[in-house]
Homo-oligomer: A and B are copies of this chain.
Amino acid sequence: MASKEGKEKAKGPAVQLKTPKGTRDWTGADMILRDEIFTTITDVFKRHGAVPLDTPVFELKEVLAGKYGEDSRLIYDLADQGGELTALRYDLTVPFARWLAMNKVQQIKRYQIAKVYRRDQPAVARGRMREFYQCDFDIAGVYDRMIPDAEILRVIYEIFEALKEQIVIKLNHRQILDGIFAVSGVPADKIRAISSAVDKLDKVPWADVKKEMVEEKGLEEAVADRIGEYVKHSGDIPTIVSLLKADESLFANADIKQGVEDMELLTSFLDAFGVPGKKISFDLSLCRGLDYYTGLIFEVIAQPSAAADATAPAAGGKPAKKKGGAEEIQVGSIAAGGRYDNLVGMYGKTQIPCVGISFGVDRIFTIMKAKREKEEGKSRVRETDVYVMAFGGGNFNGLLKERMSIARRLWDAGIKAEFAAKTKPRLPQQFKAAEDVPLGVILGEDELANGQVRLKQLGSGSGEADEKDRGQLVSEDDLVAEIKKLLI
Contacts and interface: CB of A to CB of B under 8 A. Distances in A.
Q: How many copies of this chain?
A: 2
Nearest 8 Cβ contacts at the A-B interface: A143-B421, A272-B404, A23-B56, A77-B79, A147-B421, A26-B54, A49-B418, A17-B102
Contacts of A151: 421
Interface in A55-81: 55-60, 62-63, 65-66, 76-81
B76 A81 contact: yes
A154 B54 CA distance: 31
Contacts of A341: 1
Nearest to A8: B346
B46 A383 contact: yes
Given A272-B401, A411-B158, A48 B418 contact: yes
A128 interface: no
A422 interface: yes
Nearest to A86: B20
Nearest to A380: B51
A24 interface: yes
Chain A contact residues: over half helix, strand or loop, or mixed?
mixed
A412 interface: yes
Given A50-B382, A81-B119, A272-B408, A59 B19 contact: yes
A425 to B, nearest CB: 9
A268 B5 CA distance: 30
Contact of A48 (B32, B99, B411): B411
Contacts of A78: 76-79, 88
A143 B274 contact: no
Contacts of A323: none
19 contacts: A4-B342, A5-B342, A8-B342, A14-B347, A14-B348, A16-B62, A17-B348, A20-B59, A21-B83, A23-B56, A25-B99, A26-B52, A32-B52, A47-B416, A47-B417, A56-B131, A141-B421, A147-B421, A147-B422
A374 interface: no
A49 B147 CA distance: 46
Contacts of A83: 21, 119
Interface in A128-154: 131, 139, 141, 143-144, 147-148, 150-151, 154
Nearest to A425: B144
